[in-house]
Amino acid sequence: MKRVVITGLGVVSPIAIGKEDYWKALSEGKNGVGEITLFDTTDFPSRIAAEVQDFKPDDWMERKEARRADRVIQFAVAAADLAVKDAGLDTESLDPDRFGVFIGSGEGGISTNYEGTKVLLEKGPARVGPFYVPMMLSNMPAAYVAIRLRAKGPNICVVTACATATHTMGEAFHTIGRGDADILLAGGSEAAITPVAVAGFGAMKALSTRNDDPEHASRPFDVHRDGFVMGEGAGVLVFEELEHAKRRGAKIYAEVKGFGSNCDAYHITAPDPEAVTPAKAMLQAVEKAGWGKGDVQLINAHGTSTALNDKMEALAIRNAFGEEADNILVNSTKSMIGHCLGAAGALELIAALQSIVEGIVHPTVNCKEIDPECQVKVVPDGAPLKKTIDRAIVNNFGFGGHNAVLAVESFRE
C-alpha cells in the first residue's frame, strides 16, 4: 500500500473563498447563515441558508462557458483551480494518465433540473435547451475539471447524499494507495439552495425555522437546536502519492491514514438509534490507520444540528471509543457554513487539516448549552482552542444510512 498525502486545498464556502480566508473565518467563528437571496422564500417555512457570497463565475471560466455550466460545476472548477495553485502543480508536466479527478455531488445540477422542468411544463419540449442534460448530471463537476486540466486518469463521481465528499476522498485514498494514480483532485461540490430542495427538506421538518435569527440557527449539539441549515460550496483537495510529492518538493499538509465505510441498513432518512454501524465505521478508519482508540485527538463531526443526528453521532462516538471519548475533542464546521450536503466532508476535512497544521481547533458556534444527551467533549461557542493535534477523523453520514470516516495524521517521514 502506497502512502497518500494531501498537498493542496481549494475552498469555495459561505464564509470565504480560498483556504487562508476560510481558515481565518473558522478560527474567528464567522457565521455564513443569512436570509436566502437566490429565490423568493415568502411561502417557505424555512427562509434561511448559508449562501456563497461574491462568487463570480467569470473569474474562473470564460463567460460563454460559465453560462453553460450549472452553479455546482462553477464551484467545483473554482475549488479545483485553487487546490492546484495551492499545491504548486504544473499540470502540463504531469503524466495525464496518472492524474485524475474524483469530485462528488449529492444533488448535482438541481437548479438546472428545476429550471428545465419549469420550461418543459410551461413552454413545451421544444424549448428545453441542448445543454440541459450536461448541466444537470452529477458527474459533470468531475468531468469539467478533468477536461480543463487534461486529467485522463481515473475519474469518478460518488453520490451518497451527505457522505458524498468523504466517500469520494476515501476512494481517492484507495486508488492512489493501490498504485492506480499518482495525483487525484478529490472532494465534493454542491449548489442545492433551490426552491424544490428547500421545500423538500422543509417538508421533512429537517430544516431550522429560526428565520428571525439566522446567525444562531445552526447549533450542533446544543440543547436548543431545531434543524439543519442548508449550505453550498465546494472543497477540492490534492491527494498525492508520497514519493511523487517528495520528488517535486511539495508541501504536505498531512497524511491520509485510514478510511471506514458502511451502511446502517435501517431507514431511508433516520439514523440507526443504536448507533452501531457509525461506530464501526469510525473504528474501521482508526484500525486501518494503525491507531489505538486513545490516539484520536479530534473528531470533526457530521454535527448537522438536527435532534436525531447529533444525538446518534454522540452515541456512536461513545460506542466506538468508550471512556477514551472523554479525551477526544469534537467540533462541527456546519455551525458556521451550514450543511453543504455533498461538499460537506471536503470542507470539513480541510478544517481538520488546518487544525493539524496550525494547532488550533475552531469552536462549534452557537453551541452554548450542550445537550445532556450528547455526551461528548464538544468544543463550544467562544474562542478557538489552542491544542496540538496530530491525529483526527472526519465523520459524515448520509440519508439511506451511508457512513464514511476518514483518518488523517500529521506527516512524518
Catalytic residue list: 162, 302, 339
How far apart are the C-alpha atoms of 373 and 107, rounded to whole Å? 32
SS (H, E, C) 192-218: CCCHHHHHHHHHCCCECCCCCCHHHCC
Torsion from C-alpha of 121, 123, 127, 133, nearest 10 degrees: -20
Instruction: Name beta bridge partners: 12.
Output: 17, 234
99-104/183-190 β-pairing: parallel
Kindly provide the residue ranges of all beta strands, DSSP E only, lying in 191-293, ordered along the sequence: 233-241, 254-263
Task: Please provide the size of the chain in residues.
Answer: 413
SS3 283: helix
How far apart are the C-alpha atoms of 285 and 257, rounded to whole Å? 8
How far apart are the C-alpha atoms of 329 and 299, rounded to whole Å? 6
Asked if residues 396 and 301 have their Cβ atoms less than 8 Å apart, the reply is no
How far apart are the C-alpha atoms of 154 and 18, rounded to whole Å? 26
